[in-house]
Amino acid sequence: MKLEETLRRLPPALRDLLAAHPAYAERIAKGLTLDQAAGSPDLPRQWTERADPVSRWLLRLIIRSYGCLPFEESALERLAIASSAGSGRDRPGRTDAPDGPDRPDGSGEGWTGAEIRVAVRGLLQAGILFAVRKAWGDRLLYLPGDRAPLWQLALFPMRPAPLPPERQSQACSDTAGSRLPLSLELFLALAEIRRGGLPVTAKGAPNKARIAKLAGAMRLTADEIRAADLAFARPEGVPEQAAFVLDAALRKRWLRRLPNRWEAAERPFGAGAPDEPDLPPSALDAELLDLVAAEYGGAEAALHFAATALRGLEPGVWYRERDTIPAEPFSGPSPELAAAHGRWLALTAALGWMERGTAGGEPVCRWLIDPRPMALQAGEPLDAGCLIVQPDGEIWAPAETGMAARWTLELLADRQTADQAMFIYRLTRESCLRAHEAGFTLRDALSWLEAQSGAPAPHAVRLSLADWFGRFGRLTLGEETLLRVDDAELAGKLAQDAALGPLLRERLAAGVFAVAAGKRDELARRLRELGYPPAAGAESATGPDNRAATPASQAATATGDGAPRGLSVYEPDDRIPAWEQLFPGLDSVPPAWLRQTGRYHVSTRRKLVERALAWRTSLQVKLEGEERLGLFVPETLEADGDGWRVAGRFRDGGVSGERLELAGDRLAELKIELPGEDREKKAGAGQRIDR
């Protein structure tokens, strides 16, 4: 689910709480809305610079382990404790175990369950994580799909060195000119569907002959989509590349499924109005990269991580492919990430976004589009190219011709060639007839061509268009409902009936009348009143009445909105746990246990240790015979003869020590350590809400 939809679904009380958060309050005070403040592209970088180590570490773990997939809080806590202790066996999608704790912030602490819970609470309060509630009450946490890439780029900046300038020109491309970008593959598929239709079978599958023709015209191949191993719906008998393109078009709402056919949207790329930017293919491909990375790459955490890491590279610059493989943040190089990187690199090349080649015998790659998430490109100018209209009626559409202009041009002219650098069209009588049937007049065609080319239409083109459009619409074919009377005397009698007069438009022959439009049922009622009910059967001049097809707006079943499917069907969960809920029984604990270290009877010491174990938090401990306090993380407590002993680890200098056992009488002084206590006191009771 994207951030915009997430915020729209939030209850007012939770929206108000977010608006009061320091990260947003200052921005809102300057006139921004909550949506604008929370969606700020620079927020992840700023938060990363100021966040406490455990929150920063935990968000890194979430991004690597889940990406934009939902997860349960209990599973995250187990994973975090295992990972911070140096064990990654529970990480989803992992086949390798990390060799040691992560040290992204100069620390390798074995974070406690309490620290993890407090950090999760802080991420919820800050509007970084959000929650939904299943029908049976279970809660799922998630990162909004359009924010996950921004957080990864801020928390895992990958800046490999590009090839030196002198070697950039030596790179030999293996894919140059052989591809159309996905934007144009989609465009051509939609244009073909608009022109020739895409009927479906009784089972709802696209017609095999039509879908085979559609797939055969694509530069994208079934093998390339199959190798990417993406998760998406593929109707039986539909080639993989066609299924992928149709699925992407459905998710963008450019294609609609009707009961008997698939239909292209009327204006999938916008109207191309003067006040509406007409996206060139490169800009649309940047949008589509967002979609493909979230919707298809987001189905696997490793694939999403590898895909997002590549988006930190500069466009148009060659890199060694081996330098662009992201390292496993919790263990270094990883076969899983290397495999995911290879799949994604091959897919982006197949979609016309990435160019691959060799330099000095090494595989290299470079982006052909700006790979940054769209949020980081907002506000940058878009330059759509102009059409070139030739005197012979040929029209050239350069690479940066806007998508809306291309869509209109498909209606007005016949496409001759389709290459990435140039689409070439030709004005013909048939193409102009097609435009006329879609509502174009001669004036419309000329004014549109001149606006898109920025120059007057050539004289020869004006003459041809005037000739062709001048022939259109001069003849009219229509359908009439007729009243036929088998007797001239009866026909005359009916013609004189005052009530029938307005219902009969014209007398065509002695016993034949043209019925006024829309008056057929009223005429039949009057004839029955007069005692002459019409015979059952066809009553129109051209045969049986054909009922209109169901309007597309009613029958359409387009799916997909760029959000991970499944989350939007759940209710938003507005519960941010109160401090007392993070630590059950807090009100019954003596304040001294939390305030400062003290000496206690050995039985009371045991109660402190038991409470720390229940809360999965640490203890400040001073051992008998020592002056120095240490932070001790208890793990187990067992009876030991007449006494007891606790096993755990000291954390010293940000590193967890070896596991050791301490007898209860060795704990001279101790205090329960709650994470974030100072922050919590400063936040005030008003922030401690639970709903």
User: What are the tens digits of pLDDT across the range 404-425?
Assistant: 999 999 999 999 999 988 999 9
CB 179 within 8 A of CB 219: yes
Burial 303-312, CB ≥16 within 10 A → b, else e: bbbbbbbbbb
d(CA 436, CA 639): 91
Sheet (strand 571-572) strand order: 139-142, 130-133, 571-572
Q: Do you know the residue count of the chain? A: 691
Burial 53-71, CB ≥16 within 10 A → b, else e: bbbbbbbbbbbbbbbbbbb
- Contact residues for 622 (Cβ-Cβ < 8 A; gap 6+): 597, 628, 629, 630, 667, 668, 669, 670
CA 244 to chain centre: 15
Q: Kindly report the CATH number that applies to the domain delimited by 584-673.
A: 2.30.30
Alpha-carbon radius of gyration of the chain:
35
Alpha helices in 252-280 (DSSP H): none
CA dihedral 475, 477, 481, 484 (to 10 degrees): 80
What are the pLDDT digits (tens) for 570-584? 888 878 888 889 999
Of 301, 49, 320, 309, which Cα lies nearest the Cα of 158? Answer: 309
What CA–CA distances, in Å, run from 125 to 17, 156, 519, 572?
Answer: 8, 23, 65, 14
pTM of the predicted model as reported, rounded to 2 decimal places: 0.81
d(CA 39, CA 34): 8
- Contact residues for 213 (Cβ-Cβ < 8 A; gap 6+): 192
Residue 523, Cβ density class (10 Å: 0-12 exposed, 13-18 middle, ≥19 buried)? buried
CB 57 within 8 A of CB 82: no
Helices vs strands, H then E, count in the chain: 29, 23
d(CA 503, CA 185): 54
**Residue type at position 355:** E
CB 187 within 8 A of CB 409: no
Residue 460 CB: number of other CB atoms within 10 A? 12
Residue in this structure with the two tokens 């052909």, named with its chain if needed: 368
d(CA 119, CA 139): 17
Q: Work out the angle between the directed axes of helices 281-295 and 240-251 (0-180°, nearest 10).
A: 100
Residue 489 CB: number of other CB atoms within 10 A? 9
Backbone angles phi, psi at 509, to 5 degrees: -155, 180
What CA–CA distances, in Å, run from 353 to 226, 305, 621, 685?
Answer: 18, 18, 58, 51
Q: Which two tokens stand for residue 38?
A: 């929370």
Backbone angles phi, psi at 120, to 5 degrees: -60, -45
- Contact residues for 373 (Cβ-Cβ < 8 A; gap 6+): 41, 146, 149, 150, 153, 290, 311
Of 532, 531, 529, which Cα lies nearest the Cα of 513? Answer: 532
- Contact residues for 17 (Cβ-Cβ < 8 A; gap 6+): 125, 576, 687, 689
In the chain (691 residues long), the average pLDDT of successive 10-residue segments reads 92 91 91 93 94 94 94 93 60 35 47 93 94 84 95 94 93 84 97 92 87 94 95 88 95 90 91 73 95 95 96 96 88 87 97 95 96 86 83 96 95 95 96 94 96 95 96 81 90 90 89 90 92 68 36 34 57 85 93 94 95 95 91 94 92 75 94 72 34 29
**Residue type at position 165:** P
Q: Work out the angle between the directed axes of helices 442-453 and 403-412 (0-180°, nearest 10).
A: 140
d(CA 249, CA 186): 7
Residue in this structure with the two tokens 């169901």, named with its chain if needed: 550
Q: Kindly report the CATH number that applies to the domain delimited by 278-377.
A: 1.10.10.10
Predicted local distance difference test score (pLDDT) of residue 559: 34
Backbone angles phi, psi at 488, to 5 degrees: -65, -35
d(CA 557, CA 522): 37
Residue 52, Cβ density class (10 Å: 0-12 exposed, 13-18 middle, ≥19 buried)? middle
